[in-house]
Structure 1
Amino acid sequence: MPKFMFLQRSSGGCEENRPEMTPEQMQAGMKAWMDWVNNGTEEGWLLDPGSPLDGSGAVVQPDLTVLDGPFTESKELVGGYSIVQAPDLAAACELAKQTMKLAGGGKIEVREFANFCE
């Protein structure tokens, strides 16, 4: 079955634009995330729940120099990822719709892994 990566994308500066959350809201969000992970695992479509990505990193250039990155001037930043399996892109997009409730804004890019073994 095809595998897909969900890239959680947000506009630059997303941390500053997020509203303050109460401890109860944070707890409810964590419960919703755990329910999503448990349901996806039990149903067999969630292969890796992924993780939020830290803001630090590096960019290796074609000339093999290493620069600090990712660049904050990027229009959109990748904030996290998940890996799922689905029969096709349409089905993967339906699964991505479920994650929008958990993403806290932004959008989810759905990309199929290339399968060179077939």
Structure 2
Amino acid sequence: MRYMVMHYQTQAMEDGVPPTPEEQAAIGEYMQEAAMSGVLLSGEGVASSRLGARVEVNEGAVRVIDGPFAEAKELIAGFAILEVDSLAEAVEHARKFALLVGAERVDVRKVVEFEDLQQS
């Protein structure tokens, strides 16, 4: 099963403060181990919202809002796609990663496969 793990910005991340060299090394080591084991299929961080935009649609009207956005803790900072056997295994990987990056919140969501749609 594939799961998407999303961690959220801290204000320091949104302000562009990079992880310390020690944090970068620990994160890199964890990501490399996860990739080598076949668990990590993909994973990336995303830039500060000041470099992005938001598209809102309301009753057919489209509004584009340039970043930055006010609430850093509501913004995705990065994601990973994991191939694991269960939600519990995905949660364990998310827990480890959250502790490494200092994330206050990490969401774990099952990726909906085409076969999942056929079971409805």
Compute the TM-score of the two structures, normalised by the length of structure 1.
0.75
- Looking at structure 2, the residues matched to 67 and 54 of structure 1 have their Cα atoms a distance apart, in angstroms, of 14
Residue matched to 2:12: 15
* CA shift digits 1:21-53 (9 cap, x unpaired): 9xxx82211111111111001110001121143
Structure 1 unmatched ranges of 5 or more = none
Shift in Å at residue 10 of structure 1?
4.2
Q: CA RMSD in A?
A: 2.7
Partner in structure 1 of residue 2 of structure 2: 3
Number of residue pairs the alignment of both structures matches:
110
Question: How high is the sequence identity, in percent, across the aligned residues?
Answer: 26
Gap regions ≥5 residues in structure 2: none
Tell me, yes or no, if the aligned pair for 1:53 and 1:78 is still in contact at 8 Å. no
TM-score relative to the length of structure 2: 0.74
Structure with the bigger percentage of helix:
2
SS in 2 for 1:33: helix
Off by >3 Å, runs of 4+ in structure 1? none
* 1:36 alignment partner, one of 30, 34, 58: 30
CA distance change for structure 1 residues 30 and 74 in 2, over 3 Å: closer, same or farther?
Answer: closer
